[in-house]
Amino acid sequence: MKSLKKKAAAAVCKGIKSIMPEAAVTEEEIITYLAYPPDDGMGDLALPCFKFAKALRMPPPAIAAKLAESFECEGIEKAEPAGGYLNLKIDRAAFCKKIYVDITKSDKPYGASGAGEGKTVVLDYSSPNVAKPFHIGHLGTTVIGHSLKKMHEFAGYKCIGVNHLGDWGTQFGKLTVAYKKWGGKEAVEEKGIDELVALYVKFHEEAEKEPELNDEARAAFTALEHGDPEITALWRWFIDISIAEYKKTYKQLDIEFDYYTGESFYTDKMPAVVEELKEKNLLTLDDGASIVDLEAYGMPPCLILKRDGSTLYPTRDIAAAIYRKNTFDFDKCIYVTSAGQCLHFAQWFKVLELMGREWYKDLVHVPYGTVSLNGEKLATRTGNVVLLKDLFAEAIEKAAAIMAEKNPELAGREDVAESVGIGAVVFYYLSANRMRDINFVLEDALNFDGNTGPYAQYTYARTCQILNKAGDFEPTVFEPNEYEFALCKTLSLFPETFDEALASYEPSVITRYILRLCADFNRFYHDCPVLTADTEQLKNQRLALTASVNRVLANALELICVRHPEKI
């Protein structure tokens, strides 16, 4: 539809210039005005002519009538005035044939604009805190971030995925104290990260009764900062255990990172940042702490150094951004974190601007809403979490049970159950706008009926089944009925849907499109027999549509990190 809208806009622009040659109207502007009418009886595209009334000094109905008189555009069968609108009707046969060819015969994936060719994007996402569990609170940054990575790859960008692990801070002082007081090597080796989490929770329970434990934790972290051999060895051990556990979950999600460079990686790079801030007279003292005053920009001060001289998150993030720019020369660097960190990112982005880094404008914070569990806030220290590995296990178990009932002879059922179970969770999360707060209810996430991931996967598998039974085919003539044309129109919307999702950093745009395409295909499948069509020509036409849906659904599901098995 994008190419047809472009042609239609050119024809409209030509018509407007014939009415008033000096009219300041562009094709690009007209494209933004072209809309999809809610009723097919109003045409396939509609142009509101009141947009030009002032420039042309004519009433909208007169403009619509004038444009319709001389309207000529390849692919548009008819142009009709309707009040203040110009309604355009598509040449359905030519349109459906072109959509099929564009989707199945092109070397470039359908919908891939190539906007990122020759450009590099760094994506910072997932980034769990080491020695803490990988729970559903991490699902947002992980699947939103990886979906954005896939979208940018689809657009032609060179993508670099960075897992900015939370591997530095007082939490390691707490864990060190807890391990020395209540832990043991054998228990940690046997239970792994679960034992580290238990020790972390116990520390907070005991600190409620003995507040001086917090002083011990701060002292332990200070010792780590100064390279204490024993604490450093423990710290590295805790990190290795954590990453090994996280990689199991990433494998289930088909995620691989190019770099696991946590906060500690930038420890030796922060002094240069502090020195530059001093040289540029950006640092001021406030009650002993070093800050960058941002009052003139409507923000609280950005803290760079504590009173004891230790660094904070902004210091590390600034150092990381400078390192990434110098190392990767990115065109864009994307950070996927919770909306609660919006101020933090706005502050240190502004500090980089004040430091004279013109590329600060290429830094993008992609926030998302909070996750609660059955209405309760997640908190590691109280143990109110659901681990992703447990959530995935439950989803896989339910998928396996359903498949054992519906398709007991299915080969490779265990792998398919994993694809469907994990797909259900991911699809559920990415169905909503990323800024919406989510109350994660397991029963809803694992509901396999309705507008869900399994429904989309079953639809894709149905297209595979039809095409496998059909064998070779080659459509020659397209004479679409209303269901076939409706399906073609939805297929034609994928390129601009992808553009919208990429521009807004919003995977749910793709997810909603998938549900719409599945609904249109299943209506078509119900009302238009494919393999038993009345004629060979009709059969080939419907197979062409099925093949087109198959290709687009596969690409769309890939973009939101959902696998698409051919049999379910």
pLDDT in tens, 90-115: 999 999 999 999 998 888 889 988 89
Pick from 270, 260, 243, 242: nearest CA to 175: 242
pLDDT surpassing 70 at residue 208: yes
**Cβ atoms 178, 200 nearer than 8 A:** yes
H-helix segments, 431-493: 442-445, 453-470, 482-492
Tracing tokens 């060819």 back to the chain, one arrives at: 101
Same fold, 120-261+331-382 and 391-559: no
pLDDT surpassing 80 at residue 444: no
pLDDT tens column, 466-480: 999 998 888 888 899
**Assigned architecture for domain 391-559:** Orthogonal Bundle (1.10)
H-helix segments, 192-262: 193-209, 212-225, 229-252
Q: Dump the DSSP string for 144-165.
A: HHHHHHHHHHHTT-EEEEE---
Q: Dump the DSSP string for 533-547.
A: -SSHHHHHHHHHHHH
Tokens of 559: 């973009």
**Helix or strand holding residue 7 (H, E):** helix 2-19
Pick from 435, 380, 402, 502: nearest CA to 112: 502
CATH 3.30.1360.70 fits 2-90, yes or no: yes
Distance CA 155, CA 116 (A): 5
The per-residue pLDDT for 123 is: 98
Q: Where are the beta strands (DSSP E) in 228-382?
A: 283-286, 289-292, 302-305, 332-338, 363-368, 371-373, 376-377
* pLDDT average, residue stretch 271-289: 92
Separation of CA 232 from chain center? 36
Nearest 5°: the CA angle 156, 455, 417 is 85
Domain boundaries along the sequence of the chain:
2-90, 120-261+331-382, 391-559
Name the DSSP class of 75.
T
The C-alpha torsion from 225 through 226 and 232 to 236, rounded to 10°, is: 40
pLDDT surpassing 90 at residue 518: yes
H-helix segments, 155-192: 170-182, 185-191
CATH homologous superfamily of 120-261+331-382 equals HUPs (3.40.50.620)
The per-residue pLDDT for 545 is: 95
Q: Where does the pLDDT of residue 84 fall: very low under 50, low under 70, confident under 90, or very high at 90 and above?
A: confident
Q: Where does the pLDDT of residue 174 fall: very low under 50, low under 70, confident under 90, or very high at 90 and above?
A: very high
pLDDT surpassing 60 at residue 52: yes
**Cβ atoms 1, 495 nearer than 8 A:** yes
Pick from 147, 180, 132: nearest CA to 560: 147
**Cβ atoms 88, 100 nearer than 8 A:** no
Using a 10 angstrom Cβ sphere, with 0-12 exposed, 13-18 middle and 19 or more buried, the burial of residue 358 is exposed
**Cβ atoms 198, 206 nearer than 8 A:** no
Distance CA 491, CA 426 (A): 23
The per-residue pLDDT for 147 is: 97
Distance CA 299, CA 303 (A): 12
Q: Which residue has the higher pLDDT, 341 or 412?
A: 341
* pLDDT average, residue stretch 28-53: 84
pLDDT surpassing 60 at residue 384: no
Calculate Rg over the CA atoms of the chain.
Answer: 28
Distance CA 197, CA 195 (A): 5
pLDDT surpassing 70 at residue 15: yes
Which residues does residue 336 pair with via DSSP β-bridges, in sequence order?
A: 366
* Weakest-pLDDT range from 1-10, 15-24, 84-93, 289-298: 15-24
Pick from 500, 414, 484: nearest CA to 92: 484
**Over pLDDT 90: what percentage of the chain?**
54
**Over pLDDT 70: what percentage of the chain?**
97
Which residues does residue 132 pair with via DSSP β-bridges, in sequence order?
A: none
Tokens of 259: 């770099």
A 10 A CB-CB count for 493 gives: 19
User: CB-side exposure of 167: number of CA atoms within 13 Å?
Assistant: 23
The per-residue pLDDT for 274 is: 93
Tracing tokens 């002292």 back to the chain, one arrives at: 219
The mean pLDDT of the chain is 89
